[in-house]
Amino acid sequence: MIENKVLHVADVQKNFAGLRALSDIDLTITEGKTHAIIGPNGAGKSTLLNVVVGRIIPDEGAVVFDGTVITGKKPYEINQLGIARVFQTPEIFNDLTLLQNVMVPAYAKRDGPLRLNVLTALDSDTDIRLAAEEILEDVGLADKRHADASAMSRGDKRRLELAMCLVQRPKLLLLDEPTAGMSRLDTNRTIDLLKKIKAGGMTKVIIEHDMHVVFSLADMVTVLAGGRIIAQGTPEEVRRDPKVQEAYLGGAH
Ligand SMILES: Nc1ncnc2c1ncn2[C@@H]1O[C@H](COP(=O)(O)OP(=O)(O)OP(=O)(O)O)[C@@H](O)[C@H]1O
């Protein structure tokens, strides 16, 4: 079977004032798979994600998404091409209801950078409203759809932000520590939700410190340390790799 590569990060380098944050990063992500990126603090994981979404321009190398070089494109252009990102800290609109929050990115995907009249359109566009309601159902927030986002728990905020990405029906979903700060119960609910999304065939890249989450979800794991890839493989291969145990797991887990 020929596997389709959705994303290719090709020989990327990034320096910050003399600090080498990313060195010789060459990484491919296969369609339909969940690919975890792990590594100790400061390994370069967030920098790599920022390069993919266009927030950071690499000094060298390129990112190819779905056959198109996206290096140098603006974040909203990359988003429109089909990459959505869930942030470590949810970026939601506190003054809007949950439903309105999910409708806003659906407009952004359809119409480009936000239209000035987006808030008045929120009440009138039936297709987008129905799509948003469906996604809220999927993430288990349908009964709260008319509540203000400001009143939500942290776990619910993170699920709302996931819904805001899913409504765009991205080809590639990037998740930056989706379970950070969650209770074990909320973590397990998030794992179940992400498994459900996986069944729908969406490709995902997930940065995660929680090994329970990584081993529950990932088909492939890339390990970064000091801005370099030190290991890649299935979760089992990576778990057994002595370099990984030394650099990341400390040999203790
Ligand atoms: N904008 C910046 N300016 C200067 N240095 C930066 C910048 N962003 C990141 N760095 C440095 O680059 C290195 C990689 O940081 P990055 O945030 O990508 O690591 P990380 O693996 O995501 O870490 P964590 O798990 O702690 O979030 C670190 O040494 C960090 O201090």
Residue with CA at minimum distance from ligand 1 atom 29 = 42
Question: Which tens digits make up the pLDDT trace of 27-71?
Answer: 999 999 999 999 988 999 999 999 999 999 999 999 999 999 999
- Prediction ipTM score: 0.96
Q: How confident is the model at residue 168 (pLDDT cuts 50, 70, 90)?
A: confident
**CATH 3.40.50.300 at 1-72+172-180+203-253, yes or no:** yes
Domain ranges in the chain with CATH number 3.40.50.300: 1-72+172-180+203-253, 83-169
Q: What is the pLDDT of residues 77-90, one digit of tens each?
A: 998 899 998 866 66
Distance (Å) from CA 212 to ligand 1 centroid: 24
The superfamily (CATH) of domain 83-169 is P-loop containing nucleotide triphosphate hydrolases (3.40.50.300)
Query: Which residues does a 6 A CB cutoff place in the pocket of ligand 1?
Result: 16, 19, 21, 39, 41-47
Which pLDDT band, with edges at 50, 70 and 90, does 114 fall under? low
Q: Strands across the sheet with 83-86, in order?
A: 83-86, 172-176, 203-207, 34-38, 220-225, 228-233
What is the reported pLDDT for 133? 93
What is the band of 153 on the pLDDT scale with cuts at 50, 70, 90?
A: confident
Question: What local confidence, expressed as pLDDT, does residue 193 receive?
Answer: 86
Give distance in angstroms: CA of 1 to centre of ligand 1. 38
